[in-house]
A and B are shown apart, each in its own frame.
Chain A
Amino acid sequence: AQSVTQLGSHVSVSEGALVLLRCNYSSSVPPYLFWYVQYPNQGLQLLLKYTSAATLVKGINGFEAEFKKSETSFHLTKPSAHMSDAAEYFCAVSVAPYGQNFVFGPGTRLSVLP
């Protein structure tokens, strides 16, 4: 079965600083990988996804992630944090059939300091 770990349950950055949220996965077959964002009192919104095409994936709001098979990682980055990026971020892994086999990581809460 697949699994996801996210290093750091809480990450704080200053406004304008680099955002790096870590995600490592485990899967015995080629996975799809996702990052979702959850703003307070809202549902989850897809930021970006890797589905076996380009390893560098660009998403919404200036975020991107790179799939590194050798490191089993899919870290999320953004060059310059904005106050509005403060939210909970979830990494997820899925294998075929993809809709049925979603596994979410425990989440990382991002705080952005002025």
Chain B
Amino acid sequence: DTAVSQTPKYLVTQMGNDKSIKCEQNLGHDTMYWYKQDSKKFLKIMFSYNNKELIINETVPNRFSPKSPDKAHLNLHINSLELGDSAVYFCASSRDLNTGELFFGEGSRLTVL
């Protein structure tokens, strides 16, 4: 059983479209995250949720909207996709806000044409 799973793994779409990436963790963790990894492998946090509550919202365009229906799920919806949104998006979880060990999903590679 995969601890943190993301779908889809690959996503190719046109500029202007709307897409979603789903994430689920079966670790019983309270805290979940979205990270963006750019073409140079640089990792940057986008959002953090703790028990379904938004904790961190970095300077991300408001075209990006996370949603956490329950603490085991954190989905990412992106509106009006732009070329610069092409990246690998990683979902991660930690036991709680104070635990410094992150468990990562395998990533979702988004390509915007």
Q: How far is the CB of A32 from chain B (nearest CB, A)?
A: 4
Chain B: interface residue total (CB-CB under 8 A): 27
Q: How far is the CB of B44 from chain A (nearest CB, A)?
A: 8
Query: A43-B105, A43-B107, A100-B48 are known contacts. Are A106 and B97 too (CB-CB below 8 A)?
Result: no
Is A56 on the interface with B (CB-CB < 8 A)?
no
Interface string of B81-113 (1 = CB under 8 A from A): 000000000101010111111111111000000
Query: A34-B100, A49-B100, A88-B41 are known contacts. Are A43 and B55 too (CB-CB below 8 A)?
Result: no
Q: How far is the CB of B53 from chain A (nearest CB, A)?
A: 12
Q: How far is the CB of A66 from chain B (nearest CB, A)?
A: 18
Q: Which of A41, A99, A104: most chain B CB closer than 10 A?
A: A99
Residues of chain B contacted by A34 (CB below 8 angstroms): 100-101
Residues of chain A contacted by B90 (CB below 8 angstroms): 43-44
Residues of chain A contacted by B96 (CB below 8 angstroms): 99
Residues 20-58 of A at the B interface (beta carbon under 8 Å):
32, 34, 36, 38, 41-46, 49, 51
Residue of A nearest to B91 (CB): A43
Query: A97-B97, A99-B100, A100-B56 are known contacts. Are A106 and B41 too (CB-CB below 8 A)?
Result: yes
Q: How far is the CA of A59 from the CA of B81 in the complex (A)?
A: 40
Contact A102 B45 (CB under 8 A): yes
Contact A43 B101 (CB under 8 A): no
Residues 81-100 of A at the B interface (beta carbon under 8 Å):
88, 90, 94, 96-100
Interface, chain A (partner B; CB < 8 A): 32, 34, 36, 38, 41-46, 49, 51, 88, 90, 94, 96-100, 102, 104, 106-107, 109
